[in-house]
């Protein structure tokens, strides 16, 4: 059982392209009239605010030095400021929060990088060569405006290091003592978006979709940073920045893969899956290197003699820092080879497809299959076993037996496709899987015919009505019906039979109705003498289907409906072998005085191409 404490910090978030245009509305919403504009990239903001700008402060600095904050405070007092607006990266946001913490004034943050601090109740400040942090809900901005357009001009180098800084927030959130399902999902989605966006931004810095992905990733990472405690990575970055003057985002970029290499392997496997890579630390190191981020602490100006002081008595931290100082590629936590190049080579081979949809589907299939192979460390013997299984499945297929359809059914794929294709209108009768025993062109019979003439079983009368969604009858609808006999066999499974049995095609009358006689359907096993049966037995599953009648109904101007009616109270309703039962299709088949059964049902068809 999971146990956790989650503390959310409410901030009004406005996200999109061109959202800076709403800045003045947000200031006025707070009832403010005299704004201090903080940050050096604030010309557009100043133009939008116009006379509401009482003063501007552009002297922001990394790590929020206290002396800078004190200069800004003098301006707050002199200008009679009643609202703060920070525009820029983490330094501008940090100064805005430092001022909020001292004055209680409301802050509106407009981030232009991927720092994430705008979503946190934390500010880190430096004084006398030491950086200290403060956490207080009052520091959370009242509104955060994320405008994708403000990031379009962000230099590639800063985009990369700032994005890796954001990724560090998400990574540490996953193994924080405060980790919980909400932040886990935010973190993994953030990592996925950032890893997807950063390579694209290195090639096309003005790509709005990639910029959107990166900014969304940064926002989610900021939520993580603001709701769970950070660990070793952030502790080291604060120390290196506050006491040794190293640049903030660049330090995060260098340290991240090395701290990851010493982090819980189970968490790293989750991150590897989000990255689509076999090993998370080396994947992040390679990403940073490929995109031109600084690769070592020595590049950032840290002296080797400082490493022991920073690590103290912790030999593990010292080894980590030495590796990061040199810029060594961390050892892989997972010794499986990286399939990325192979996967992308195969996906690229589909680029010449005449139908783009084919290329899209095959590309996604290859990525997922390669991921399955990698994630499960598939052995050659297991792969050969799967090939043999699929080969035997294909060899059993014939005009009267569709083993591949059975495989699709028993894996729930048929029901999944059915739901996607046919269940998007809540007002139509729910659909169900076609199954492997439908035969084209069943014999046409008149309403009132007996489909079970001469066959043993409990007599059944079915009264059917076909209507549109407004209840109006649909005349001359074509209704195909098929079912098994009382022993659970369809006619195509019984070679001794001559001609179709228990299947027919009827048409609705002018009032949309028809009726027929048959026998009560019973539960039956799907064919289990082949590979599908082998799979069911190997997984402890039974092969039985709940008792049902099949229907296929079509009429001009309406969507074709393929469905089933299940006998209420029948066996296996809760464990149907092909996952085909839907509650709305479980119907009463009440008994009559003579023991026969009846069923009445109205099928509702939606408009479409029939």
Q: Would you say residue 7 has pLDDT above 80? A: no
Q: Report how far apart the first and last C-alpha atoms of the chain are (Å, whole number).
A: 49
Cα 321 to Cα 72, 304, 306, 410, 470: the distances in Å are 36, 9, 10, 53, 71
Tokens of 340: 């990325």
- Torsion-angle region of 497 (φ positive above 0: left; ψ -120 to 50: alpha; else: beta): beta
Provide, for the chain, the percentages of residues in helix, strand and coil under a 3-state DSSP scheme, each rounded to the nearest 5.
45, 15, 40
Q: Would you say residue 494 has pLDDT above 90? A: no
Mean pLDDT over 462-491 rounds to 95
The SS3 call for residue 437 is: coil
* 548 has catalytic annotation: yes
Q: Would you say residue 334 has pLDDT above 80? A: no
Query: Helices (H) and strands (E) in the chain — how many of each?
Result: 19, 18
The catalytic residue among 545, 559, 597, 604 is 545
CA distance 169 to 189: 12
Q: Would you say residue 610 has pLDDT above 80? A: no
Cα 347 to Cα 341, 355, 358, 366: the distances in Å are 10, 14, 11, 7
CB 268 within 8 A of CB 332: no
CA distance 83 to 195: 36
Which pLDDT value is given to residue 608? 83
CA distance 541 to 534: 10
The domain 413-604 belongs to what CATH superfamily? Aromatic compound dioxygenase (2.60.130.10)
Smallest CA-to-CA distance from 124 within 158, 143, 101 is with 101
- Tell me the pairing of strands 586-587 and 561-567: parallel
Q: Would you say residue 420 has pLDDT above 90? A: no
Q: Would you say residue 147 has pLDDT above 90? A: yes
What is the DSSP code (8-state) at residue 140?
S
Which pLDDT value is given to residue 425? 72
Non-local (6+) Cβ contacts of 184 within 8 A are: 173, 174
Tokens of 196: 């997807």
Which pLDDT value is given to residue 379? 93
CB 274 within 8 A of CB 284: no
In the 3-class helix/strand/coil scheme, how is 458-493 assigned residue by residue?
CEEEEEEEEECCCCCECCCCEEEEECCCCCCCCHHH
CATH of 156-326, one of 3.90.660.10, 1.20.1070.10, 1.20.1090.10, 2.40.50.140: 1.20.1090.10
Cα 32 to Cα 38, 229, 507: the distances in Å are 16, 33, 72
Whose tokens are 């116009």? That residue is 50
CB 187 within 8 A of CB 170: yes
Residue 467 has, within 13 A of its CA and on its CB side, a CA count of: 12
Which pLDDT value is given to residue 230? 86
CB 565 within 8 A of CB 516: no
Which pLDDT value is given to residue 506? 98
- Tell me the pairing of strands 107-111 and 143-147: parallel
Confidence of residue 544 (pLDDT cuts 50, 70, 90): very high
Provide CATH 2.60.130.10 ranges for the chain. 413-604
Q: Would you say residue 424 has pLDDT above 70? A: no
Tokens of 119: 């979503």
Which pLDDT value is given to residue 2? 67
Provide CATH 3.40.50.1970 ranges for the chain. 12-151
CA distance 218 to 210: 12
Q: Would you say residue 1 has pLDDT above 60? A: no
Which pLDDT value is given to residue 594? 93
pLDDT, tens digit, 9 for 90 and up, residues 349-379: 998 899 989 999 999 999 999 988 987 889 9
Whose tokens are 């002396």? That residue is 67
* 234 has catalytic annotation: no
The answer to whether the Cα torsion of 406, 407, 409, 410 is positive or negative is positive
Q: Would you say residue 290 has pLDDT above 90? A: yes
Which pLDDT value is given to residue 276? 84
Mean pLDDT over 312-331 rounds to 94
Which pLDDT value is given to residue 321? 96
Other Cβ atoms closer than 10 A to 556: 10
Which pLDDT value is given to residue 488? 87
CA distance 136 to 60: 22
Whose tokens are 């800078």? That residue is 68
pLDDT, tens digit, 9 for 90 and up, residues 51-103: 999 999 999 998 899 999 999 999 999 999 999 999 999 999 999 999 999 99
Percent of the chain whose predicted confidence (pLDDT) is above 70: 99
pLDDT, tens digit, 9 for 90 and up, residues 30-47: 999 999 999 987 899 999
Element (H, E) at 170: helix 156-174
Q: Would you say residue 427 has pLDDT above 90? A: no
Considering the chain, what is the average pLDDT of its residues?
A: 92
The catalytic residue among 234, 548, 559, 597 is 548
CA 27 from chain centre, in angstroms, equals: 35
Which pLDDT value is given to residue 332? 84
Which pLDDT value is given to residue 270? 93
The catalytic residue among 175, 524, 544, 572 is 524
Non-local (6+) Cβ contacts of 293 within 8 A are: 157, 160, 161, 164, 250, 253, 254
* 175 has catalytic annotation: no
* 542 has catalytic annotation: no
Mean pLDDT over 283-308 rounds to 95
Mean pLDDT over 455-459 rounds to 94
Find residue 213's DSSP bridge partners: none
Provide CATH 1.20.1090.10 ranges for the chain. 156-326
The catalytic residue among 234, 248, 550, 597 is 550
The catalytic residue among 490, 544, 558, 572 is 490
Which pLDDT value is given to residue 423? 67
Tokens of 294: 């600084």
* 524 has catalytic annotation: yes
pLDDT, tens digit, 9 for 90 and up, residues 554-565: 999 999 999 999
- Tell me the pairing of strands 544-545 and 524-525: antiparallel
CATH number of 12-151: 3.40.50.1970
pLDDT, tens digit, 9 for 90 and up, residues 174-221: 999 999 999 999 999 999 999 999 999 998 999 999 999 999 999 999
Smallest CA-to-CA distance from 422 within 304, 301, 585 is with 585
């Amino acid at each position: 059982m999971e146990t956790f404490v989650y503390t959310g910090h409410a901030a009004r978030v406005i996200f999109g392209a061109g959202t800076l245009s709403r800045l003045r509305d947000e200031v006025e919403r707070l009832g403010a009239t005299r704004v201090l504009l903080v940050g050096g990239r604030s010309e557009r903001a100043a133009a939008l605010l116009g006379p509401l700008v009482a003063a501007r402060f552009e002297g922001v600095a990394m790590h929020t030095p206290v002396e800078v904050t004190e200069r800004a405070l003098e301006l707050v007092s002199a200008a009679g400021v009643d609202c703060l607006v920070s525009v820029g990266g983490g330094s501008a946001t940090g100064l805005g929060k430092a001022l909020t913490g001292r004055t209680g004034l409301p802050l509106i943050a407009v981030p232009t990088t991927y720092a994430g601090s705008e979503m946190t109740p934390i500010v880190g400040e430096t004084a006398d060569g030491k950086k200290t942090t403060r956490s207080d809900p009052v520091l959370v901005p009242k509104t955060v405006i994320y405008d994708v357009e403000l990031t379009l001009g962000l230099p590639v180098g800063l985009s990369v290091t700032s994005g890796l800084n954001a990724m560090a927030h998400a990574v540490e959130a996953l193994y924080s003592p405060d980790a919980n399902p909400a932040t886990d999902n935010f973190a993994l989605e953030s990592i996925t978006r950032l890893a997807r966006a950063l390579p694209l931004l290195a090639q096309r810095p003005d790509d709005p979709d990639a910029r959107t992905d990166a900014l969304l990733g940064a926002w989610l990472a900021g939520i993580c940073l603001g709701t769970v405690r950070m660990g070793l990575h952030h502790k080291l970055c604060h120390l290196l920045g506050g006491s040794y003057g190293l640049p903030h985002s660049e330090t995060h970029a260098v340290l991240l893969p090395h701290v990851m290499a010493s982090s819980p392997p189970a968490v790293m496997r989750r991150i590897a899956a989000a990255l689509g890579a076999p090993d998370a630390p080396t994947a992040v190191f390679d990403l940073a290197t490929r995109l031109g981020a600084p690769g070592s602490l020595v590049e950032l100006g840290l002296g080797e003699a400082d490493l022991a002081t920073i690590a103290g008595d912790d030999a593990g931290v010292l080894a980590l820092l030495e590796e990061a100082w040199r810029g060594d590629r961390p050892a892989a936590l997972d010794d499986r080879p990286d399939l990325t190049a192979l996967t992308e080579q195969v996906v690229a081979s589909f680029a010449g497809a005449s139908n783009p949809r084919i290329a899209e589907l095959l590309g996604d299939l290859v990525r997922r299959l390669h991921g399955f192979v990698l994630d499960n460390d598939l052995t050659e013997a297991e792969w050969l076993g799967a090939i043999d299984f699929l080969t035997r499945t294909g060899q059993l297929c014939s005009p009267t037996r569709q083993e591949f359809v059975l495989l699709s059914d028993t894996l729930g794929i048929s029901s999944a496709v059915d739901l996607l294709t046919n269940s998007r209108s809540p007002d139509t009768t729910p659909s169900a899987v076609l199954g492997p025993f439908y035969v084209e062109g069943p014999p046409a019979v008149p309403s009132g015919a007996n489909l079970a003439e001469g066959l043993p079983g409990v007599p059944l009368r079915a009264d059917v009505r076909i209507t549109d969604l407004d209840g109006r009858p649909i005349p001359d609808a074509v209704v195909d019906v098929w079912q098994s006999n009382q022993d659970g066999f369809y006619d195509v499974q019984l070679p001794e039979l001559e001609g179709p049995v228990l299947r027919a095609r009827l048409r609705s009358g002018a009032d949309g109705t028809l009726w027929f006689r048959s026998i009560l359907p019973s539960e039956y096993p799907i064919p289990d003498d082949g590979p599908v049966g082998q799979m069911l037995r190997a997984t402890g599953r039974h092969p039985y289907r709940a008792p049902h009648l099949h229907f296929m109904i079509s009429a001009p101007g309406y969507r074709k409906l393929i469905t089933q009616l299940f006998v209420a109270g029948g066996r296996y309703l809760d464990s149907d072998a092909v996952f085909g039962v839907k509650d709305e299709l479980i119907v009463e088949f009440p008994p009559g005085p003579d023991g026969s059964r009846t069923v009445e049902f109205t099928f509702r068809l939606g408009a479409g191409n029939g």
